[in-house]
Amino acid sequence: MTQKLYAGIEAGGTKFNCVVGTDPRNILARTKIVTTSPAETLTQVCDFFRQQSVDLGPLSGLGIACFGPLDLQRGSPSYGYITATPKPHWSNTEIAGYFQRELNMPVGFDTDVNGSALGEHLYGAAQNITDFVYVTIGTGIGGGVFVGGKPLTGMVHPELGHMRLPRKTETDSFAGHCAFHGDCLEGLASGPAIEARWNCSAVTLPEDHPAWDLEADYLALMCVNIAMSYSPQRIILGGGVMDQVHLFPLIRSKFEGLMSGYMLPAIALDEYIVAPGLPGNSGEMGALAMAISAGEQRAD
């Protein structure tokens, strides 16, 4: 029996990564489309998938893991839209409905981080776990929160990157660079924040540089807030900054110190704060997982 083919889009502010595959571990085609105007970008994405359905066979569903903010309230007149984004030309752009009409297949639509979290749930580090949080620490900081096996949306969707933390004023004079909040988590601990604070590329900072101890302080505080707020069974930390794998043991030990024996049952912290299980680009993988999920719901 041939396996079904699915389409995924990681829709970002600089590019739309498009993939076709049978599941996130078996990608058969991919392309990158530069994010220009909505009309031009969305048309090119549709053309790519139409061509793939000719070359590879019919597609059974599409998942879109999209930059936000998004309207995820089913029944809302602007469900499936990007709402008020600072990205020029993209405010109030219909995404999910557009692809549904153009490609005529089930469409899954969610934030980029909820997509990544779903990928981790189905295929990665959160298999067999219903309550967990996936956080990416990269150009920005964003988090997908799963409760009872489903992504939390609520009023909008969680914006973990913009939680407020006590700034380490004794060791950190950097004012933070979030355009909205200054020294929120993203303003203090995203890749560009590290680079602005230390005035060099984060990739080249040596492992013993004080930047990493400070980074682990902030990410441990974030994990405490996440643990206290959502009581997840696991916290997955991904994104470019977490390629600095030496951060993991530092974050775990600072987290344990900050928790002060409170709340934590007898769990191994190296199974509580973990790296993603899916290799490669978590957004693309997540989008494909969303496509499979959307296709299966239609088949039910």
* For Zn ion, the closer CB: 83 or 100: 83
Q: Which of 1, 250, 280, 230 is nearest to 124 (CA)?
A: 280
The percent helix, strand, coil of the chain (3-state, each to 5) is 40, 25, 40
**What is the enclosing helix (H) or strand (E) of 288?**
helix 282-299
- Are 192 and 203 in contact by the 8 Å Cβ rule? The answer is no
* For Zn ion, the closer CB: 65 or 178: 178
Regarding 162 and contact with Zn ion (CB under 5 A), the answer is yes
Could you tell me the two tokens for 101? 């009409």
Q: Which of 126, 211, 220, 241 binds ligand ADP (CB under 6 A)?
A: 241
Regarding 180 and contact with Zn ion (CB under 5 A), the answer is yes
Least distance in angstroms from the C-beta of 184 to ligand ADP: 16
* For Zn ion, the closer CB: 178 or 242: 178
Stretch that binds ligand ADP, among 64-72, 118-126, 154-162, 190-198 (CB under 6 A): 190-198
Least distance in angstroms from the C-beta of 142 to ligand ADP: 8
Regarding 239 and contact with ligand ADP (CB under 6 A), the answer is yes
Preceding omega of 210 cis (within 30 degrees of 0)? no
The residues in 192-221 that bind ligand ADP, with binding defined as CB under 6 A, are: 192, 195, 202-203
Using CB under 6 A as the binding criterion, the count of chain residues that bind ligand ADP stands at 13
**What is the enclosing helix (H) or strand (E) of 236?**
strand 234-238
Least distance in angstroms from the C-beta of 266 to ligand ADP: 33
Stretch that binds ligand ADP, among 77-85, 160-168, 189-197, 291-299 (CB under 6 A): 189-197
Quick note: the x/- pattern for ligand ADP over 134-173, rule CB under 6 A, is: --x-xx----------------------------------
Regarding 70 and contact with ligand ADP (CB under 6 A), the answer is no
Could you tell me the two tokens for 127? 């298999």
Question: Would you give the distance in Å from CA 221 to the centre of its chain?
Answer: 19
Q: Which of 191, 206, 87, 56 is nearest to 136 (CA)?
A: 191
End-to-end, the C-alpha distance of the chain in Å comes to 19
Q: What is the DSSP letter of 250?
A: H
Could you tell me the two tokens for 162? 């913009």
User: Which option in Zn ion, ligand ADP, none does residue 180 bind, with CB closer than 5 to 8 A by kind?
Assistant: Zn ion
* Torsional class of 94: left (φ above 0), alpha (ψ -120 to 50), beta (otherwise): beta
Using CB under 5 A as the binding criterion, the count of chain residues that bind Zn ion stands at 6
Regarding 184 and contact with Zn ion (CB under 5 A), the answer is yes
- Are 278 and 240 in contact by the 8 Å Cβ rule? The answer is no
Where do contacts with Zn ion occur on this chain (CB under 5 A)? 162, 178, 180-181, 184, 186
Where do contacts with ligand ADP occur on this chain (CB under 6 A)? 136, 138-139, 191-192, 195, 202-203, 239-241, 243-244
